[in-house]
Amino acid sequence: MKQKVYLNIGEAFFTSGNYEIRTILGSCVSVCLFHSEHGFSAINHILLPGTADVKEEKQSLRYGITSMELMINEFVKHGIARNHLKAKIFGGSQSPRLTTNNAGPKNIAFVTEFLGTEKIPIVSNDTGGEQYRKLSFHTDTYDVFITKIQPNLVTEVQTQEKHFETKVREKMVKKSSIYTF
The domain locations on the chain are 3-180
Which pLDDT value is given to residue 164? 61
Q: Report whether pLDDT(171) > 50.
A: no
Q: Report whether pLDDT(109) > 60.
A: yes
Side-chain-side CA neighbours of 120 within 13 Å: the count stands at 25
Q: Report whether pLDDT(159) > 90.
A: no
Give mean pLDDT, residues 146-172. Answer: 64
Give mean pLDDT, residues 97-123. Answer: 89
Q: Report whether pLDDT(151) > 80.
A: no
Which pLDDT value is given to residue 156? 61
Strand order in the sheet with 40-44: 122-127, 86-91, 29-35, 40-44, 11-15, 177-180
Q: Which CATH class is domain 3-180?
A: alpha beta
Which pLDDT value is given to residue 94? 83
Helices (H) and strands (E) in the chain, counts: 4, 10
Parallel/antiparallel/unpaired status of strands 40-44 and 11-15:
antiparallel
Q: Report whether pLDDT(54) > 90.
A: no
Q: Is residue 14 very low, low, confident or very high in pLDDT (cuts 50, 70, 90)?
A: very high
Q: Report whether pLDDT(45) > 90.
A: yes
Which pLDDT value is given to residue 174? 47
